[in-house]
Amino acid sequence: MAPRNRPLARHAAHPGHPHELPGRLVGRLRDGALARFGTQLGHPHGVPGRLVGRLRDGALALFAAQLGHPHELPGRLVGRLRDGALARFAAQLGHPHGVPGRLVGRMLNRANRAATFEAVDALDLAPGAVVADLGFGGGIGLELLLRRLGDRSPTSAAGLAGGQVHGVDQSVTMLGAAARRFRREIETGRLALHQASIECLPLAAATVDGAITLNTLYFITDLAGALQECARVLKPSGQLVVGLGDPNQMARQRVTAHGFRVRPLAEVTNALLAAGLEVDEHRPIGNGRGLFHLLVAQPY
């Protein structure tokens, strides 16, 4: 009995580790089968295609079900994959970097355009104003602020004739993208870019007429320090527009569980007041899941 079983044992060993002549034959059979299976996955046809289609559709349905309601071992694995992806995405939102960061910047421009337009519109600016976008991300705020100031170039570093825009961000990726996009505006002095955090602004005291900061407070640990810095750089007649998603809606989003600091509006308003900034206008934008809040504050 033992001699008859040896060839079968040798054959069974070959698929995992083909060797010698029988191994080469088994390897070719295996590779051919994998190639045909791959072809069927890409373009199912005939009876094998119908079977492959059912297997593929069933696997996709199982994966989708696990995404919606992970359970048992596959669910735990899918849950870890999902949580890992959300954590990486949240990190990119807070500090975009690399190729994914550039993609996130473009996404932010599309998602935040309407709210940023309203924030820029809320500023009461005179000719020659000096303005800032604090945490400018994808750069849509820089574009709209430059457009608001018009096409005139400043006659001095302070931008006394045509005004000047300051863009502040920590991300080297976002700074590089803005430097390429607004090269002409930087050369003419209409735009100055700075790598810095909102907690430590590289701007002189009482030099800014208006500033906007949207979707940044979620990633700031020292809220009081950041708002005090904003108050420091504003002129006595200046304005700060803070934009943030509705806290109740954001708390329901899975991504905010990964490093976001979702603060109630009352907490932000009180922090502004403690920093010497009083909210004199509250502009809600949108509704439902897209509800967004603009808080327009001035020194008092």
pLDDT for the residue 11? 44
Can you tell me the distance from the alpha carbon of 63 to that of 61, in angstroms, rounded to the nearest whole number? Answer: 5
Where are the chain's structural domains? Answer: 2-69, 97-299
pLDDT for the residue 188? 95
Can you tell me the distance from the alpha carbon of 93 to that of 17, in angstroms, rounded to the nearest whole number? Answer: 46
Token representation of residue 57: 């559709």
Q: Which CATH class is domain 97-299?
A: alpha beta
pLDDT for the residue 120? 97
Token representation of residue 263: 């603060």
pLDDT for the residue 17? 52
User: Is the pTM here over 0.75, yes or no?
Assistant: no
User: What tens digit of pLDDT does each residue of 74-89 get?
Assistant: 666 656 655 666 566 5
pLDDT for the residue 88? 66
User: What tens digit of pLDDT does each residue of 204-215 get?
Assistant: 999 999 999 999
pLDDT for the residue 29? 75
Residue segments in the chain with a per-residue pLDDT below the cut of 70: 1-20, 23, 37-38, 40-44, 56-97, 99-105, 108-109, 151-161, 255, 258
In 3-state terms, what secondary structure has residue 168?
A: strand
Token representation of residue 97: 């970097």
